[in-house]
Structure 1
């Protein structure tokens, strides 16, 4: 049962978001997600305790309130991953509030997130990734659009960019040098080395693009000249994977995962790959180690005589 959020609690939420924004430069979508998650808890708390809870009253919330909130979320159909994300936001808010208002929030900070299976990346095999790039060049009857889609996806697979990072490039970024300075999540910048194939693909697109390159305009244009919508790249990739008979997991983001996994398979250093991907935490990058290990175990299971897959 949700209640009305007291003005003081709502003000505390906005103060916290402003403090986060100043420290991390979080993207608007990230900030909106934090606002929704914490506001959901504050509204639940008001209903659970029988009325709006002002800022001072928030300090009296405890572990039983958190458990009741998580149970309500579970009953409403939220999965363990969603509940864990919400709890993380509430803990972050309470950590800031406790430091700001001077109270002990250890009970809430000690709350444990529901266990959930870690979702590992699903990279494409190297030959499938290459076929995807080749097939994209034939997915659209307009040559410059086909070249555009190929160029974007080549940046994802060849350089490990997020699709938002590739589409965030402007005319001022061209011509490319040996590396690209990318503004990633949280406003953090990183230098990404460029392979010749990526530079060549972007150059081929620009040679065909009917819209003149401008320093402040998007490098990748939509059919009408505006910024390219990422859904169009996703649709082109979907058509290519259908043509190649690849699974639904063969998405643009999967190509970024493929970049990391194939580097790791070739002997790449985990920390170097972390830097290339722009991961804030090494633990995120370590997921690729698990993927590579899982792939090796599949080969082992298929080939080893005692595993039932080999001839001996």
Structure 2
């Protein structure tokens, strides 16, 4: 049962350039928000590999209609930048992605001003980071997760003090289950969730099988099981990696196209964040009750 979808018009402003010295390519963002309303919480969203600020409208538009300001950067791995896995810069893109989110958070006031005066309407005491796939691992570092080095030691702390909650959709599991190709070419896919103390919702698909992992769909639940409480887990039994098409309608990556599933993901994230921000817990409570009384097509756990 999706949460209440407010009858609220939205507006998007793009591109807005964010200061990012030494990046080589301008850091640009898109801001989507309701045309009315005050005290709007903020979501900074990190896209999956190869996407851009123009993706994920099925999620972003629904969040904005529910009363959020959503800021979407385009990371260097976007296909519009043409950097393939064989590009020598690819090995450090994971760090640039994290720096992108820090740049957005550090310059949020100016971004909101350029987006039509939103700085007066946004609630900058309630900021979340959300991501999908690689973007979820990126967002996870802002929530406190670290990346293990070759010796298994945790790397830098990239958490940001402005962020008080988050949601990780189809997020990378632990690195001890990587395929040989992934272990060689994607060494940053070794997250340590033991330090991810910020409240977060983990969203996983019951049919999400990664070619980069030797494990099955449960790999995508590691952030929930290994991250310190408070954490919640939404598992959608028939969901694949794009969970019905969250990146866009009829995109090539979507093998399980289902608008209702996309709406569930979007509404679960917004309901969870409103509860975590102590704005309104009714929608999140209703979702948990619906999951408990449902037929098992989706479930919610918490601790």
TM-score bracket for this pair, using the shorter chain length: under 0.3
The structure that is strand-richer by fraction is 2
Structure number with bigger Rg: 1
TM-score, normalised relative to structure 2: 0.25
TM-score, normalised relative to structure 1: 0.24
